[in-house]
């Protein structure tokens, strides 16, 4: 089946620095890639997403880039703040199953040190 | 976004018993998804629940262990049957909104089997 590789598994940065998380996928037909933030004890929440017809999307301090040729997409957080500390999951909408579903990466635990 | 009410939020159960988790959505949706998230891990899809038909289970999950009901377009239940300590996990329901692929999650059910 389809698989999404996510790196790094943990990331520690100083407040104000940038953080980058990268994911790779294998199905060239996939066309939707969301990112979720999960704070401790809470549900995953969609923070940004990108579709395959664009290469980059930005929302304030968060941006996502997509390289369809290389089959990878990345989350960029600039000017990190302590409240950015959480686990981040990338995902891929995979249509290869019977109805389609999201395939999640293993997650990146981001720690922002004040 | 979507308002998804999931209950119970947590439970401690004896091994060999069953627990039914409920998920209520604020508007009609075609597909509802059930995920398992083991401690410190990513989200694994258990099954997709469609109204009016049997749920579609992912590899490694079977109907006898995780029976699902979908009586209408706003409600679903997942039962964890004949529980063992290995079933201790967080269970989440999810629905799609937006352009069809944006997933929103219930608050999760933290299950501990003793």
- For chain A, the C-alpha Rg in angstroms (whole number) is 14
Partner A contacted by B33 (CB < 8 A): yes
pLDDT tens for each residue of B69-86: 999 999 999 999 999 999
Beta bridge partners of A40: none
* Token pair of A63 as six digits: 């941006």
Asked whether the predicted pLDDT for residue A52 surpasses 90, the reply is: no
Indicate which of B43, B49, B95 best probes the interface with A, i.e. most A CBs within 10 Å of its own CB. B43
* Maximum alpha-carbon separation in chain B: 42
pLDDT tens for each residue of B42-62: 999 999 998 888 899 999 999
* Number of neighbouring beta carbons within 10 Å of residue B83: 21
Asked whether the predicted pLDDT for residue A97 surpasses 70, the reply is: no
Indicate which of A6, A35, A44, A48 best probes the interface with B, i.e. most B CBs within 10 Å of its own CB. A44
Asked whether the predicted pLDDT for residue A23 surpasses 70, the reply is: yes
The confidence score (pLDDT) of residue A3 equals 87
Asked whether the predicted pLDDT for residue A33 surpasses 90, the reply is: yes
């Amino acid at each position: 089946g389809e698989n999404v590789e996510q790196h790094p598994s943990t990331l520690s940065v100083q407040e104000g620095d940038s953080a980058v998380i990268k994911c790779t996928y294998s199905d060239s037909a996939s066309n939707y890639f969301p990112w979720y933030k999960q704070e401790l004890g809470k549900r995953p929440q969609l923070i940004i997403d990108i579709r395959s017809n664009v290469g980059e999307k930005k929302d304030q301090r968060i941006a996502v880039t997509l390289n369809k040729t290389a089959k990878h997409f990345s989350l960029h957080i600039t000017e990190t703040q302590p409240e950015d500390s959480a686990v981040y999951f990338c995902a891929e909408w995979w249509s290869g199953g019977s109805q389609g579903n999201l395939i999640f990466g293993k997650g990146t635990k981001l720690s922002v040190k004040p | 976004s979507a308002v998804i009410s999931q209950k119970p939020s947590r439970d401690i159960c004896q091994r060999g018993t069953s627990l039914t988790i409920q998920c209520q959505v604020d508007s009609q949706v075609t597909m509802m998804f059930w995920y398992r998230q083991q401690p410190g891990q990513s989200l694994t899809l258990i099954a997709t629940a469609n109204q009016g038909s049997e749920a579609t289970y992912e590899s490694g999950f079977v109907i006898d262990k995780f029976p699902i009901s979908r009586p209408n377009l706003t409600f679903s239940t997942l039962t964890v049957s004949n529980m063992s300590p290995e079933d201790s996990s967080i269970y989440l329901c999810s629905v799609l909104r937006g352009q069809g692929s944006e997933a929103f999650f219930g608050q999760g059910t933290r299950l501990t089997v003793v």
